Amino acid sequence: GAVVSQHPSRVICKSGTSVKIECRSLDFQATTMFWYRQFPKQSLMLMATSNEGSKATYEQGVEKDKFLINHASLTLSTLTVTSAHPEDSSFYICSAPTSGRSDTQYFGPGTRLTVL
């Protein structure tokens, strides 16, 4: 099946710094990618939809100025957590849907962010 990668897999940063997370579709093109956040023992919650060539759309309650999304190409979307705080510590997961009949979403392995 299709492969989606994320980098880094883990990151620890100091409060106030910014962290960039990359999501790549390795063997297919994705005009849309989704960014989810998963708290411990919780479900995945959609944060935003990343659209190649246009602005991302954010879910209610998600600060777009804090979580910057850039869909630079048909295979790369980045999520930048700006001025990170301890409450931003979480597991961030991206997904990319393939097009065509199968039209299935493939998920990256996730990025564990810890803000000290």
Residue 20, Ramachandran bin (φ over 0: left; ψ between -120 and 50: alpha; else beta): beta
Nearest approach, Cβ of residue 15 and other proteins (Å) = 26
- Interface contacts to other proteins, rule CB under 8 A: 1, 4, 6, 9, 31-32, 34, 41-46, 49, 93, 95, 97-99, 103-110
Strand partners, 73: 76
Nearest approach, Cβ of residue 108 and other proteins (Å) = 5
For other proteins, the closer CB: 78 or 111: 111
For other proteins, the closer CB: 28 or 89: 28
For other proteins, the closer CB: 15 or 46: 46
Q: Do the Cβ atoms of 115 and 18 come closer than 8 Å? A: no
- At 46, which helix (H) or strand (E)? strand 44-51
User: Is the bond into 8 cis (omega within 30 degrees of 0)?
Assistant: yes
Q: Taking Cα atoms as reference points, which of 25, 17, 20, 18 lies closest to residue 7? A: 20
For other proteins, the closer CB: 42 or 73: 42
Nearest approach, Cβ of residue 116 and other proteins (Å) = 22
Nearest approach, Cβ of residue 16 and other proteins (Å) = 29
